[in-house]
Amino acid sequence: MSATDSVLRLEDVWKAFDEHTVLQGIDLAVAPGEVVALIGASGSGKSTLLRTVNLLEPVDDGRIWLGEMDISDPAVDVDAVRARIGVVFQQYNLFPHLTVQDNITLALRHVHKYSKTRADAAATVLLERVGLAAKARDHPDRLSGGQQQRVAIARAVATEPDLLLLDEITSALDPELVGDVLDLVRALADDGMTIVMATHEMAFARDVADRVLFLDAGRILESGTPAEVFGAPREERTREFLTRFT
Ligand code: ADP
Ligand code: MG
């Protein structure tokens, strides 16, 4: 694969908060359709890595490419970059004052300049797909946490992004609500969406990811297929982590 075939590429990315270095030379290339799972202890840098890609955190050193665009260039058009990336966080994803339908159409209308009719039609298709067509006119507080996350995912993919970033999207959910959310991510992965996700759902990562990266103190300590990383971890720290989480 040549470098420009990557959907996303990080080259020697460094990030510190004051004295604390949180990302220490991250190198990563994500191929079209690839699903990459970031695992690692709390504080290992997973969220910061995702946030640098979405330009929520400037990097101190290194480069980040989205396709052929150098998005670490300070002069980059932030809105144009974010229009190509879908993001779902752990919680507080939806606008509480908008209906489910309007949460989805907002980005379509403002980022992609869809007409109201076209945006509404697209939202209807998406809500059917995530099994929530009946909730279109409700406000988010009427939905369960799992339903809210499914709407958040629908919104994130509505704009047909090149890349989907998921940061612990099931961590705040009651256990019985996790399955439907993960099923939706699995369906998107099967459809060929390129996904980078931080997760504590090891069984899910094992099942869905093409590649698993173990982050330790801001470095990719180990990476490989799920079978390699979960089945035969090379590093002692990976083994220690996995015994705590599986
Ligand atoms: P993870 O998602 O793997 O739990 P994070 O990327 O959230 O890890 O955090 C990595 C480290 O960076 C932690 O020590 C965290 O306290 C620190 N950190 C994250 N964001 C900030 C911030 N805005 N200011 C200061 N420190 C931060
Ligand atoms: Mg995190």
Q: How confident is the model at residue 107 (pLDDT cuts 50, 70, 90)?
A: confident
Residue 245 pLDDT class (50, 70, 90 cuts):
confident
Question: Is residue 17 within 6 Å of ligand 1 at its C-beta?
Answer: yes
Does 217 or 245 have the greater pLDDT score?
217
CA of 44 to the centre of ligand 2 (A): 8
Q: What is the reported pTM?
A: 0.95
Q: pLDDT tens digit string along 42-99?
A: 999 999 999 999 999 999 999 999 999 999 999 999 999 999 999 999 987 899 999 9
CA of 192 to the centre of ligand 2 (A): 25
Ligand 1 proximity of 44 Cβ (cutoff 6 Å)? yes
Position 138 scores a pLDDT of 98
pLDDT > 70: what percent of the chain? 98
CA distance 75 to 183: 38
Please tell me whether residue 85 adopts helix, strand or coil conformation: strand
The pLDDT of residue 244 is 87
Q: Which residues are close to ligand 2, an ion, with C-beta < 5 A?
A: 46-47
Residue 4 in contact with residue 24, Cβ under 8 Å? no
Distance CA 51, CA 46 (A): 9
Q: Is 40 close to ligand 1, i.e. is its CB under 6 Å away?
A: yes
Q: Atom 24, ligand 1: which residue's CA is nearest?
A: 17
d(C-alpha 188, C-alpha 71), whole Å = 25
Residue 174 near residue 162, CB atoms below 8 Å: no
Query: To test the ligand 1 pocket, which listed residue (15, 17, 23, 39) has its Cβ within 8 A of the most ligand atoms?
Result: 17
Four-CA torsion 138, 143, 148, 150, nearest 10 degrees: -90
Report phi then psi at 53, rounded to 5: -70, -35
Cβ burial, residue 38 (10 Å; 0-12/13-18/19+): buried
Pocket test for ligand 1, best of 18, 48, 52 (most atoms within 8 A of CB): 48
Decide if the complex's ipTM is over 0.95: yes
Supply the mean pLDDT for the chain: 94
Amino acid present at 58: P
Task: Name the residue with tokens 């006119």.
Answer: 137
Question: Rounded mean pLDDT of 186-190?
Answer: 96
Rounded Cα–Cα distance for residues 195 and 245 (Å) = 22
Residues 200 and 246: their CA atoms lie apart, in Å, by 9
Residue 88: φ, ψ to 5°:
-130, 130
- pLDDT at residue 2 above 90? no
> Please, which residues bridge with residue 69 across strands?
66
148 lines ligand 1 (CB under 6 A): no
